[in-house]
Amino acid sequence: MARPDAVLRFAPSPNGHLHLGHAYSALTNERLAKARGGRLLLRMEDIDQSRCRATFEDSILRDLEWLGIAFDPLIRRQSEHFTDYARALDQLADLGLLYPCFCTRGEIARAVAADPSVPRDPDGVALYPGTCRHLAQAERDRRLELGTPPAFRLDMAKALALVNLNALQRGLGPMAWREFGEGIAARDVAAHPERWGDVILARRDIPTSYHVSVVIDDALQGITAVVRGEDLQEATSLHLLLQRLLDLPTPDYHHHGLLRDAQGLKLSKSTHARALHAVRDDGITPSALRQQLGFG
Ligand code: GLU
């Protein structure tokens, strides 16, 4: 059904060249934006300034232009909006939901190795054992004074308790999102943010995180439908939790299947997926590529 106010977005990170998997995601966004009679925005998720490069952004723009995908002309670059993310983090801090974490990767690995029963997050990484959650305020102040830059973690138990209380008070239902597909009925999916434990919401080296930035941008840009790969489906639980904590609307979501290589691995830089510009240099036309990817 066409919804004139539908707004979708494609949100690559300019830390490398686009590959066929990105093309598939961008084309899926284009098709669904058209089906909903809506607009399609382009966002550069470039909070990690040590890995993102202007040359990669140029290359992404060239590839998308070549593919013939029409985006709204205004591009949002996350690196220009750190103050928006800081405001959200302040809100969470004011709610008493953040704590500084001084642990190094090595310290966490040792704590986890000492306790094999530590559960894993959906990515298979051991949940943070909560070491710094228990630090006394005086000890936190002492370490901050020493100049050790901390990461900031979400106190998941406190966050869930607050969201549940608010839901009771406001008569809201359980945390769930509307998952829509192409040619299948939409369904509600229950969110399970607890699977992520005390996640990092502001990194030691970057004053935000993917989770905070994406949730803030989706709200500020009025995104009504998020279309992205199924590898991010588990992260959506966390995004719903942040939306509830920050009083932001929850868009609909469509997590599309991923292009995989012969070994069944999703296409990515680490599996040496072919860059789109290399495919283009081979002389394939945009319409032939669209056809091959199922968008003929
Ligand atoms: N920047 C993310 C990526 O390139 C996409 C995040 C999203 O669509 O929510 O994988």
The string of pLDDT tens digits covering residues 74-84 is 999 999 999 99
pLDDT, one tens digit per residue, over 123-170 is 999 999 999 999 999 999 999 999 989 999 999 999 999 999 999 999
- DSSP-derived 3-state class of residue 90: helix
Q: In angstroms, what is the span from residue 94 Cα to ligand 1's centroid? A: 28
Residue 5 has pLDDT above 70, yes or no: yes
Q: What is the domain partition of the chain in residue ranges? A: 1-80+260-296, 81-217+235-248
Task: Please give the mean pLDDT across all residues of the chain.
Answer: 95
In CATH terms, 81-217+235-248 corresponds, of 1.20.1050, 1.10.3470, 1.10.10, 3.90.800, to: 3.90.800
| Spatial separation of the C-alpha atoms in residues 71 and 124, rounded to whole Å | 35
Q: What is the pLDDT of residue 3?
A: 57
Centroid of chain to Cα 296: 29
Residue 296 has pLDDT above 90, yes or no: no
The length of the chain is: 296
Taking residues 191-205, report their average pLDDT: 98
Q: Which of 194, 107, 90 is nearest to 148 (CA)?
A: 107
Mutate to test the pocket of ligand 1, among 228, 239, 242, 250 (most ligand atoms within 8 A of CB): 228
pLDDT, one tens digit per residue, over 15-51 is 999 999 999 999 999 999 999 999 999 999 999 999 9
User: Taking a C-beta distance cutoff of 8 angstroms, is the pair 194, 160 a contact?
Assistant: yes
Q: In angstroms, what is the span from residue 165 Cα to ligand 1's centroid? A: 31
Q: Hey, do 1-80+260-296 and 81-217+235-248 end up sharing a CATH topology, with the first three levels equal?
A: no
- DSSP-derived 3-state class of residue 38: coil
CA angle, residues 169, 173, 175, in degrees to nearest 5? 110
Q: What is the pLDDT of residue 269?
A: 76
Q: Which of 165, 136, 175, 197 is nearest to 253 (CA)?
A: 175
Percent residues over pLDDT 90 in the chain: 89
- The secondary structure of residue 247, as a DSSP letter, is T
Q: What is the pLDDT of residue 271?
A: 77
- Which residues sit with their C-beta closer than 6 Å to ligand 1? 11-13, 45, 214, 228, 232
Q: In angstroms, what is the span from residue 11 Cα to ligand 1's centroid? A: 5
Q: What is the pLDDT of residue 145?
A: 95
Token reading at 7: 């707004």
Which CATH fold topology does 1-80+260-296 show?
Rossmann fold (3.40.50)
Q: In angstroms, what is the span from residue 60 Cα to ligand 1's centroid? A: 14
Q: Which of 249, 248, 251, 244 is nearest to 162 (CA)?
A: 244
CA-228 nearest atom, ligand 1: 8
- DSSP-derived 3-state class of residue 289: helix
Percent residues over pLDDT 70 in the chain: 99
User: Taking a C-beta distance cutoff of 8 angstroms, is the pair 199, 152 a contact?
Assistant: no
- In the numeric block, the tokens 């998941």 are attached to 156
| Spatial separation of the C-alpha atoms in residues 90 and 84, rounded to whole Å | 10
| Spatial separation of the C-alpha atoms in residues 293 and 28, rounded to whole Å | 10
Q: What is the pLDDT of residue 2?
A: 53
